[in-house]
Amino acid sequence: MTEFKISVTESDDDVEELRALYSELLGDGELRTARKSLAPGRGHADTMGFEDVARLVLDNPALDTAFSTCVTAWLTTRGRRKLKIVLRANGTAEIDATGVREITATDVIEALNVARNGSDGPAS
């Protein structure tokens, strides 16, 4: 079981983008058993101030797949916007979704594994 802290950075409105992603996670039927919450206004050492964070607990591989499918579907609705999704657990991984290339479910699962296993670095 791993608790992930999810944030969105480098977009025009990080808070709005995170809330849109969180709303998508809440509405995903396959993620209904995953514990989720939104923690607004927390400071983080890696940022220049406060950032909203979505918390998500994934306790089996099927939820990893459901999360990756949900995120990739959500990203397709964002168009060519500039944004990064940051996943923190035992390490940190970033998914750079700036429109340079399409993000796949495999990219998201790779980022989950990087964050889960404690090695820091960009995943995609």
Mean model confidence pLDDT for the chain: 87
26-79 pLDDT, tens digit per residue, is 999 999 999 999 987 555 555 455 678 999 999 988 899 999 999 999 998 887
Number of domains making up the chain: 1
Range(s) of the domain holding residue 47: 2-122
C-alpha angle 98-100-104 in degrees, rounded to nearest 5 = 85
Asked whether the beta carbons of 63 and 31 are under 8 A apart, the reply is yes
Q: What is the CATH number of the domain that holds 114?
A: 3.30.70
pLDDT at 86: 95
